[in-house]
Amino acid sequence: AQTVTQSQPEMSVQEAETVTLSCTYDTSESDYYLFWYKQPPSRQMILVIRQEAYKQQNATENRFSVNFQKAAKSFSLKISDSQLGDAAMYFCAYRSQETSGSRLTFGEGTQLTVNP
């Protein structure tokens, strides 16, 4: 079974600075997807970014980018120019590509605080 680990329960960053959230995972599969979701206090789960394992290029969405290291099974999220609205719980998630309709396996989450 796949597992996802986020080793940083809490992180903080100054507004306009850059922060990196860590995620590692364990799988024996070669094809899969990885995601970062954001959950603000409103509890809505919002997709931040996705990465397909077969793509070597790191995904980027505006101020959000990932560092995907397949061999190391690492998938970190970098937030540049942090904004107050980035404050939220961030979850890393894994989805198998080998099974249609497969479940998402989530990490424990990292609570990000943005200081003005």
- The tokens of 29 are what? 């599969």
What is the distance between the alpha carbons of residues 24 and 69, in angstroms, rounded to a whole number?
9
SS3 29: coil
Is residue 31 close enough to count as binding other proteins by CB under 8 A?
no
Site string for other proteins, 66-95 (x = CB under 8 A): -------------------------x---x
Is residue 108 close enough to count as binding other proteins by CB under 8 A?
yes
Is residue 44 close enough to count as binding other proteins by CB under 8 A?
yes
Binding-site member from 42, 56, 57, 62 for other proteins (CB under 8 A): 42
Binding-site member from 20, 33, 67, 73 for other proteins (CB under 8 A): 33
Q: Where are the beta strands (DSSP E) in the chain?
A: 3-5, 10-14, 19-21, 24-26, 32-39, 46-52, 60-61, 64-69, 74-79, 88-96, 104-106, 110-115
Is residue 50 close enough to count as binding other proteins by CB under 8 A?
yes
What is the distance between the alpha carbons of residues 95 and 112, in angstroms, rounded to a whole number?
23
Is residue 106 close enough to count as binding other proteins by CB under 8 A?
yes
Provide the binding-site residues for other proteins, judged by CB under 8 A: 33, 35, 37, 42-47, 50, 52, 91, 95, 97, 100-104, 106-109
